[in-house]
Every structure is written in C-alpha cells, then in structure tokens.
Amino acid sequence: MNKVKFHDIIIKHGSDILDSDGMKIEKECIQHGSFSVYDHSLYVTSMCLRISKKLRIKVNEKAMVRGALLHDYFLYDWHEPTKANRIHGFTHPGIALRNAEKVFDLGKIEKNMIKRHMFPLTPVPPRYREAVILCIADKLCATRETVGGFKNKIKKKFRRNGFNA
Ligand SMILES: [Fe+2]
Ligand SMILES: [Fe+2]
C-alpha cells in the first residue's frame, strides 16, 4: 500500500480533526526545522500506518489514526524561551490529552497513545500496540524531519495528496 492510500485512510478517519481549530494553530507552530506541528502530525500518522502494514500488526486503524493525529495537540509554540517550555518534553503529552478531550470523544487507545507517546523520556510505557507504534513512528519522523533531503520530499508528497502542508 502506498502513501496515497495512507492519506485516504487519514481523511476517512480524521477529517474532523484535520478541520479543527486546534489544527489551524498546529499549522502556525513549528515542530522541527521547517515542519509545523500539523506537518509532523500528518507524517507521524502515515508512518504509523506504514509500520502496522509492513509488519502486519493488527491494529484498530481508526483509533490509531485519531490518536496519532492528536498526539501533539498541545497548541502552543514550545520554542519560546519560557520556564514552562523547558520541560515541554515531559509535560506536553498531558496538555495535548486535555486539549483533545475537550473537543473530541476519545477512547482508551487514543488516550493512551497521546499520554504515553514520549516514552522512555516519560517513564510509563504505552499499553496498546497502537501506542507502541506511535512511540516508534514519532521518534523516526522527528529524526527525518531534521535531516536535509527527507524534509522536502515529505512536504512535496503532502502537497501532491491535497494537504496544504
Ligand atoms: Fe510529542
Ligand atoms: Fe510528535
């Protein structure tokens, strides 16, 4: 299955999330390099799908897409040099979960994905396979987003698939 299919799956399960006010904020907030939090969330979500298909891991596809799209729904610029942002790595999963819960109906898988995605930086491991996949995808994508050649390739793919990343 190729990336175009992944984008179709993301739209199918997450179009309400992509259209939310929070995602408009995510588009304005930088995550890594020239990647906004919105770009990063899309990339991580398609990476989760890719990992689960490649390794043939049985997942709740809808929950995985929604949890991955919302995993960094913290909605502020963490690069601002404030005291709170110094511990962003530890605190943002809880903030993202609170923000997401206010707007969306979340099941136990989505909640665990958001809350535990920073493992092992935060010490409690993820409980569900969807959350383990997210943990791995998040780190893989974060690395690729900061490495030259990958960045433009990924963004071009987003644009081709109709996402205004
Ligand atoms: Fe995160
Ligand atoms: Fe992330």
CATH number at residue 88: 1.10.3210
In a domain, 79, yes or no: yes
Within a domain: 123: yes
The answer to whether the Cα torsion of 70, 74, 79, 85 is positive or negative is: negative
CA of 2 to the centre of ligand 2 (A): 22
CA 37/CA 9 separation, integer angstroms: 20
Q: Three-state SS for 30? A: strand
| Residue 68 falls inside a structural domain | yes
- pTM for the model stands at 0.91
What pLDDT is attached to residue 152?
74
Contact, 110 vs 67, CB < 8 A?
Answer: yes
CA 64 vs CA 28, 50, 51, 85, 87: distances in Å:
24, 12, 12, 27, 26
Of all ligands present, the nearest one to the C-alpha of 42 is 2
DSSP assignment letter at 29: S
> Does residue 165 belong to any structural domain of this protein?
no
Closest CA to 67 of 44, 51, 86: 44
Q: What is the DSSP string of 66-91?
A: HHHHHTTTT-S-TTS--TGGGGHHHH
| Neighbour-count burial for 122-152, b at 16+ CB within 10 Å, e otherwise | beeebebebbbbbbebbbebeebbeeeeebe
- Pairing label, strands 35-36, 30-32: antiparallel
Residues with CB in 5 Å of ion ligand 2: 72, 138
- Rounded to the nearest whole angstrom, what is the distance from the C-alpha of residue 31 to the centroid of ligand 1? 9
CA of 40 to the centre of ligand 2 (A): 7
Which stretches of the chain drop beneath a pLDDT of 70?
1-4, 148-149, 164-165
Q: Say how many Å lie between the CA of residue 56 and the centre of ligand 2.
A: 23
Query: In this structure, is residue 16 part of a structural domain?
Result: yes
Considering its fold, how many domains does the chain have in total? 1
Ligand 1 centre to CA of 93 (Å) is: 6
Task: Note the Cα 117 to chain centre separation in Å.
Answer: 9
pLDDT at residue number 156? 79
Q: Report CA(71)–ligand 1 centroid distance (Å).
A: 6
Ligand closest to 92 (CA) is: 1
Check residue 160 and give its pLDDT.
81
Find the 140 Cα to ligand 2 centroid distance in Å. 10
Which residues are within 5 Å of ligand 1 (an ion), measured at CB? 72
Cα atoms in the 13 Å half-sphere on the side-chain side of 19: 6
Distance 151 CA to ligand 1 centre (A): 18
Domain membership of residue 123 as a residue range = 3-160
Is 97 among the domain residues?
yes
